[in-house]
Amino acid sequence: MIEKTVLSNGVRILTETLPEMHSVAIGIWIAAGSRHEQEHENGLAHFIEHMLFKGTARYSAADIARMVDAVGGVFNAFTAKEYTCLYIKVLHQHSARAMEVLCDIFFHSLFHEAEIEKERNVILQEISMVRDTPDDYIHDLLGHVYFGRHPLGRAILGNRKSVCAFSRQHIVDFYAREYLVPERIIIAAAGRIEHSRMLDWFGGRFEHLSGTAVPYRPAPPPRFKTVFYYRNLEQVHICFGIPGVSHQDPGRYAFAAANAILGGSMSSRLFQEIRENRGLAYAVYSCIASFHDAGVLCVYLGIPPAALPEALPIVQRELSRMCDEQVSVEELNTAKEQLKGNLLLGLESTDSRMSRLAKCELYYGMHLSVQEIIASIDALTAEDLQMLMRMLFDNGRYACVVLGPVKKDDAAAHALLTQ
């Protein structure tokens, strides 16, 4: 059973009670992430996520870790472009401890100067780790090319210059401005817990919050350009960015199905043709990202430079083919089953259910039932996918990033520069 209560100040509390489960996952979600940063603040949301583990007025960082570990729990947090989440998963008999820790770190984190300096170095190492991993780093580069200087185009981790400049006051001010805003807060739980208990614990602690959210900048139109970043690597890494759809778009299920067919699975067209049939790449895939008002379809491959003339036309051909031809009945049915399987398998864990509960509220303001989603997936037709891809890609334009031992004036780059 799913229940929802909205406090007088706008804080939303949602519970999916599952009495047959042994565990409960409880999360505090804030509709603020890297998209809500100004340029000089790039990386602040992620920095705050780290600092929420570093001690409160009542408990040290070690105390918090021991409190969760002592009951076999899982404590984690993550930052995305449009939201931040901190959550704990425990056996149901330890739910009070989970709620106590979450409230304590949300309201009473110290953001101590000494801890900030230690964590600053940790985050700088995290940035370096991503930059040393080309198949990760290229997605940050693509975001910058595709969205430009808009916040959606910036890396969630920030950059070395911005992270080095953050002071404690920057952190405290950003936290108050973007996080302690009641209309942005969603408290979600799934598992063996009653909604009344959630209200008893969180209601009185969160109802005193006040303030109004600062609007974020609308997403810009995509920038279609090809950018080369030369590095002396064994492989050349390529990432294409094609326009996608937002979370609210009615074509979102067709978008997900088209991605599954194009490159989202081992049976997909790109994987089968580039890896299995020709042996040109170990890693080749497509993936999608959707936001409140924008989306992007990414295609990635890592190949030896000599394989560029053979591999690139395959990618371009398969993208065009999604517009020019309807997918087969077999491909469509496989994609549908893949989407439904991913959805239903996620229902087997309380943390996945908790996340789904919060994200539905975040993007739709309501719960979307599994039956409703499955019905929407089952209703998809090959014509739906073709019409959507024609709308998104029929002009044949894309953003592209090339990272590796290839330069713009190399003959191997010609196919990328003729769009």
Q: Encode pLDDT of 312-327 as tens digits.
A: 999 999 999 999 999 9
The token pair at 45 is 């949301």
- Give 268-277 pLDDT, tens digit per residue: 999 999 999 9
Q: Domains along the chain?
A: 2-206 (3.30.830.10), 226-417 (3.30.830.10)
- Kindly give, in sequence order, each residue whose CB lies less than 8 Å from that of residue 281, ignoring residues fewer than 6 positions away: 274, 275, 301, 302, 303, 307, 311
Identify the CA nearest to 351 among candidates 4, 90, 80, 106.
Answer: 90
Whole-angstrom Cα distance, residue 43 to residue 366?
Answer: 30
Question: Residue 408 has what pLDDT?
Answer: 84
Predicted pLDDT at 239: 98
CB burial of residue 46 (10 Å; 0-12, 13-18, 19+): buried
Query: Is pLDDT of 190 > 90?
Result: yes
Closest CA to 73 of 148, 23, 110: 23
For residue 394, give the amino acid letter. D
Question: pLDDT tens digit string along 46-102?
Answer: 999 999 999 999 999 999 999 999 999 999 999 999 999 999 999 999 999 999 999
pLDDT in tens, 204-227: 999 999 989 988 899 999 999 999
**Residue listed under structure tokens 């083919």:** 321
Of 123, 115, 127, which Cα lies nearest the Cα of 53?
115
Q: Say what the pLDDT of residue 395 is.
A: 82
* pLDDT of res. 411: 73
C-alpha distances in angstroms, 114 versus 41, 111, 279, 391, 404?
20, 9, 51, 52, 39
Task: Judge whether residue 188 has pLDDT over 90.
Answer: yes
Q: Work out the average pLDDT over 37-45.
A: 97
Mean pLDDT of the chain: 96
Q: Which residues are catalytic?
A: 49
